Structure 1
Amino acid sequence: MGIGSLLVMLLIGAVAGWIAGKLVSGSGFGLIGNIVIGILGALVASLILPRLGFGPGGGILWGIIYSTLGAVILLVVVRVLKRA
C-alpha cells in the first residue's frame, strides 16, 4: 500500500466517522476518533453488507457511503450494548 492509498483511506475514514457521528449521536468524535470509527465502520460494512446483497462499488464516494453505513451500524450496536 502506497502513501497515497493510506491518505485516501484516512480521509474516507474521517469523513465516514464524522457523518456517522452526526447521524447517531449528534456530534463527531474528533479527528482521530472519526478516523477510527470510519475505518472500523468499513470493516463492519465489509463483513455485513455483502451478505445483504450490497457489494462495494468503486470510487471515493461509494467508499464513504459504504464506510458510513458500517460506522452507523457499529455506533448503534455500541449504544445498545451500553444501555444493557
Structure 2
Amino acid sequence: MELGIIGSIIIGILAGFIAGRIMKGKGFGLIVNLIVGLIGAVFGGFLFHLIGAEVMGVFGYLIMSVVGAIIFLWILFLFAPTKKAKIHSG
C-alpha cells in the first residue's frame, strides 16, 4: 500500500503530534514536533526495515512513524542545550 506524498506528510505530521504528547514535556513545541514527525516517519521506516518488520495499512504506517518520531525526539533531547536557572544578584 502506497500512501503517496500527501498521505505520508499527513501521517508524519500526526506522528509528530502524537510523539510530542507521549514524550510529556520533552517536545520542542508544536511546529518542531511536526517537523520531527516527518523526519521520524522516514527514520521509523528505516528502523523497521532494518529489523525486517513490515507494516500494513494506514494504522501500521502511523505506528511506525510514531515510533520513529519518539526515538528521534529522544535523540534530539539528548543533544538539546539545557536551560539554566538565572541567578539574580541583589
Task: Output the TM-score relative to the length of structure 1.
Answer: 0.73
Measure the CA separation in 2 of the matches of 1:25 and 1:35.
15
Q: Deviations over 1:46-82 (max 9, x none)?
A: 2223223323x12111111000000000000111122
Matched, 1:82 2:52: no
Cα 1:61–1:36 change in 2 (3 A) is same
Paired-residue identity, %? 27
1:3-82 alignment runs, 5 A limit: 5-26=4-25, 29-30=29-30, 32-55=31-54, 57-82=55-80
- 5+ residue gaps, structure 2, are 83-90
- Normalized per residue, which structure has more helix? 1
Query: Any idea what the Cα deviations from partners look like across 1:4-24, whole Å, max 9, x if unmatched?
Result: 833322221111000100111
Q: What RMSD over aligned residues (CA atoms) do the two structures have, in Å?
A: 2.5
Query: Between Structure 1 and Structure 2, how many residues are aligned?
Result: 79
- Runs of at least 5 residues in structure 1 that lack an aligned partner in the other structure: none
Structure showing greater radius of gyration is: 2
Question: Could you tell me the TM-score, scaled by structure 2's length?
Answer: 0.69
